[in-house]
């Protein structure tokens, strides 16, 4: 009995891709993000605590959760240009970028705290809308949130200017005083290893402490936010209905610093520091969720 002929194999894709060196040259301030980064950090977050079942400790309005963390961040260049098609008054553009996977665990228990796949993109100058080049971070968070944060990349001589990150919750409307029950947990909480008392009010102090005795000769600063700039064109956060009703993530602001550190023997290594603040809204209060870390390129 004759058998039907097998369908023809599809033709191999012989279209040449861009060489990685060419892609890297097109990444601009994102170039040195490529690689594997490993290090430590800290996380501060206020959580609704109405449930009486562990690990919740309710019923009460909230609990303050502090973690010392370990982190692995893997970043890989996309192997070619991503074409975005222009319309009236705007030609086509090519976006270059990197995909990443961030994994954060508790430094004491090794419990998984956060996993996040996403992209960093470099967008060139455009006419429609009118604007200069930008960097974009797209993130998918397993709580049911998608993030698009936009900003700029800057080259700096020397080390970063980090500044404070304020963990104090703020009542809506802004300016309404909070009662002592909301502020007391921030004054003297139990601390995980390495989490200094001063870090509770300003977690960015951990970043400043990590580089206090270092000779940083060059820094690339990536400053991003989901808030719209003055032009009115910006990113945002999209949350699933449960999150909106119970602990709504409304804004993300982050700064990443890619630092070149010079050692005593004249050699250098690359270090990545970041601070990120996500505003969670529940009980009519804006609660800062602050994450910081110092990572070394492997």
Report pLDDT digits (tens) over 167-218.
Answer: 999 998 877 889 888 999 999 999 999 999 999 999 999 999 999 999 999 9
Contact (Cβ atoms closer than 8 angstroms) between residue 99 and residue 42: no
**Residue 96 to residues 36, 135, 136, 238, Cα–Cα distance (Å):** 19, 10, 11, 24
C-alpha span between 102 and 296 (Å, rounded): 14
Q: How many domains does the chain have?
A: 1
pTM over 0.85: yes
The answer as to whether 171 is a domain residue is yes
* Percent of the chain at pLDDT exceeding 70: 91
256 HSE (CA, 13 A, CB side): 23
pLDDT value, residue 113: 97
**Residue 59 to residues 53, 56, 152, 190, Cα–Cα distance (Å):** 9, 8, 43, 20
Average pLDDT for 34-48: 97
C-alpha span between 251 and 96 (Å, rounded): 25
The answer as to whether 203 is a domain residue is yes
At 100-145, the pLDDT tens digits run 999 999 999 999 999 999 999 999 999 998 889 999 999 999 999 9
Name the token pair of 79. Answer: 């192997």
The answer as to whether 239 is a domain residue is yes
C-alpha span between 198 and 203 (Å, rounded): 8
Where residue 175 sits, what CATH number does that domain have? 2.40.128.20
The answer as to whether 237 is a domain residue is yes
34 alpha-carbon distance from chain centroid = 15
The answer as to whether 114 is a domain residue is yes
Q: Which domain holds residue 285?
A: 20-297
The answer as to whether 263 is a domain residue is yes
The answer as to whether 40 is a domain residue is yes
The answer as to whether 116 is a domain residue is yes
Name the token pair of 251. Answer: 């804004």
At 137-175, the pLDDT tens digits run 999 999 999 999 999 999 999 999 999 999 999 998 877
At 250-288, the pLDDT tens digits run 999 999 999 999 999 999 999 999 999 999 999 999 999
């Amino acid at each position: 009995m004759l058998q039907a002929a097998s369908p023809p194999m599809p033709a191999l894709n012989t279209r040449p891709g861009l060489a990685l060196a060419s892609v890297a040259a097109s990444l601009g301030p994102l170039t040195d993000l490529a690689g594997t980064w490993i290090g430590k950090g800290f996380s501060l977050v206020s959580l609704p605590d109405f449930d009486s079942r562990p690990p919740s400790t309710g019923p009460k309005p909230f609990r303050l959760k502090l973690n010392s963390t370990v982190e692995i961040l893997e970043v890989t260049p996309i192997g070619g240009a991503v074409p975005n098609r222009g319309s009236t008054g705007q030609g086509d553009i090519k976006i270059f970028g990197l995909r990443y996977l961030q994994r954060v665990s508790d430094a004491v228990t090794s419990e998984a705290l956060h996993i996040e796949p996403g992209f960093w993109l470099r967008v060139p100058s455009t006419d429609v809308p009118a604007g200069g080049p930008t960097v974009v971070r797209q993130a998918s968070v397993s709580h049911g949130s998608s993030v698009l944060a936009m900003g700029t990349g800057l080259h700096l001589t020397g080390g970063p200017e980090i500044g404070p990150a304020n963990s104090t919750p703020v009542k809506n409307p802004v300016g309404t005083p909070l009662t002592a029950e909301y502020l007391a947990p921030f004054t003297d909480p139990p601390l995980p290893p390495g989490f200094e008392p001063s870090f509770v009010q300003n977690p960015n102090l951990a970043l400043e402490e990590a580089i206090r005795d270092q000779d940083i000769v060059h820094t690339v600063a990536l400053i991003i936010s989901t808030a719209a700039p003055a032009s009115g064109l910006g990113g945002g956060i999209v949350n699933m209905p449960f999150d909106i009703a119970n602990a709504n993530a409304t804004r993300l602001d982050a700064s990443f610093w890619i630092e070149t550190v010079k050692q005593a023997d004249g050699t250098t290594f690359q270090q990545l520091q970041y601070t990120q603040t996500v505003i969670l809204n529940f009980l009519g209060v804006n609660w800062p969720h602050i994450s910081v870390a110092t990572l070394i390129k492997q």
